[in-house]
Homo-oligomer: A and B are copies of this chain.
Amino acid sequence: MLTTAREPVADPTNQDLALVDAYWRAANYLSVGQIYLLANPLLREPLLAEHVKPRLLGHWGTTPGLNLLYAHMNRLIRARDLNVLYVTGPGHGGPALVANAYLEGTYSEVYPDIGEDEDGLRALFRQFSFPGGIPSHVAPDTPGSIHEGGELGYALVHAFGAVFDNPDLIALCVVGDGEAETGPLAASWHSNKFLNPVTDGAVLPVLHLNGYKIANPAVLARVPAAELAALMRGYGYEPHFVTGDDPAEVHRLLAATLEEVLGDIAAIQHAARGGAVADRPVWPMIVLRTPKGWTGPKKVDGVQVEGTFRAHQVPLSRTRANPAHRALLEEWLRGYRPEELFDDTGRLLPHLRALAPTGTRRMSANPHANGGRLLRELSMPDFRDHAVPVGRPAVESSEATRVLGGFLREVVAANTDRFRIMGPDETASNRLDAVLETTNRAWNAITVAGDDHLAPDGRVMEVLSEHLCQGWLEGYLLTGRHGLFNCYEAFIHIVDSMLNQHAKWLKTSRGIPWRAPIASLNYLLSSHVWRQDHNGFSHQDPGFIDHVVNKKAEIVRVYLPPDANTLLSVTDHCLRSKDYVNVIVAGKQPALTYLDIDAAIAHCARGLGIWPWAGTGHGEPDVVLACAGDVPTLEAVAAADLLRTHLPALRVRVVNVVDLMRLQSETEHPRGLSDVDFDAIFTTDKPVVFAFHGYPSLIHLLTYRRTNHRNLHVRGYQEEGATTTPFDNVMLNDLDRFHLVMDVIDRVPGLGESAAGLRQAMVDNRVAARRHTREHGEDDPAIAGWTLRSGN
Contact = CB atoms under 8 A, between A and B. Distances in A.
Contacts of A429: 214-215
Contact of A131 (B139, B152, B697, B723): B723
Nearest to A729: B131
A219 interface: yes
A167 interface: no
Contacts of A235: 231, 234
Interface residues of A, number: 118
Given A139-B538, A184-B183, A777-B53, A193 B216 contact: no
Contact of A234 (B178, B231, B508): B231
A573 interface: no
A463 B136 contact: no
Given A54-B778, A150-B535, A496 B215 contact: no
A501 interface: yes
Contacts of A315: none
Contacts of A733: none
A318 interface: no
A171 B214 CA distance: 32
A536 interface: yes
Interface in A232-265: 232-236
A497 B425 CA distance: 18
Contacts of A10: none
Contacts of A454: 216-217
Contacts of A132: 722, 724, 773-774
A446 B222 contact: yes
A384 interface: no
B463 A134 contact: no
B183 A222 contact: no
Interface stretch (A115-123, A323-331, A540-548, A682-690): A540-548
Interface stretch (A464-472, A564-572, A590-598, A744-752): A464-472
A21 interface: no
A230 interface: yes
B130 A507 contact: no
Interface in A510-565: 534-539, 541, 543, 546-547, 550-552
Contacts of A182: 183, 187, 464-465, 467
Contacts of A309: 452
Contacts of A385: none
Contacts of A773: 131-132
A504 interface: yes
Interface string A492-503: 011011001100
B152 A535 contact: no
Interface string A670-694: 0000000000000000000000000
A161 B537 CA distance: 24
A579 interface: no
A179 B538 contact: no
Given A151-B491, A227-B236, A723-B133, A215 B452 contact: yes
Contact of A500 (B183, B493, B723): B493
Interface in A204-230: 213-219, 222-224, 227-230
B193 A219 contact: yes
A450 interface: yes
A660 to B, nearest CB: 14
Which among A57, A222, A224 has the greatest number of chain B C-beta atoms within 10 A? A222
Contacts of A188: 183
Interface string A136-158: 11010000000011111100000
A173 B536 CA distance: 23
Contacts of A236: 223, 227
Contacts of A215: 425-429, 452, 462
Contact of A465 (B149, B183, B426, B546): B183
Nearest to A228: B234
B537 A222 contact: no
Contacts of A468: 181, 183
A190 interface: yes
Contacts of A227: 233-234, 236
Contacts of A360: none
Nearest to A193: B219
Interface string A70-109: 0000000000000000000000000000000000000000
A55 interface: yes
A13 interface: no
Given A135-B538, A187-B181, A539-B150, A491 B497 contact: yes
Contacts of A184: 183
A445 interface: yes
Contact of A536 (B136, B426, B776): B136
Contact of A723 (B134, B428, B443): B134
Interface in A462-491: 462-465, 467-468, 490-491
A500 B541 contact: yes
Nearest to A555: B719
Given A425-B178, A464-B178, A777 B55 contact: yes
A536 B135 contact: yes
A495 B468 CA distance: 16
Q: Which of A139, A183, A218, A697 has the most CB of B within 10 A?
A: A183
8 contacts: A132-B774, A139-B537, A215-B426, A217-B447, A218-B464, A224-B446, A500-B543, A501-B538
Interface of A: 38, 53-55, 57, 129-137, 139, 148-153, 178-179, 181-188, 190, 193, 213-219, 222-224, 227-236, 304, 308-309, 425-429, 441, 443, 445-448, 450-452, 454, 462-465, 467-468, 490-491, 493-494, 496-497, 500-501, 504, 507-508, 534-539, 541, 543, 546-547, 550-552, 695, 697, 700-701, 704, 709, 719, 722-725, 728, 773-774, 776-778
Given A216-B454, A219-B463, 16 more contacts: A129-B534, A131-B777, A132-B773, A150-B535, A182-B467, A183-B465, A183-B467, A214-B425, A214-B426, A223-B446, A224-B446, A233-B234, A490-B500, A494-B497, A500-B543, A697-B701
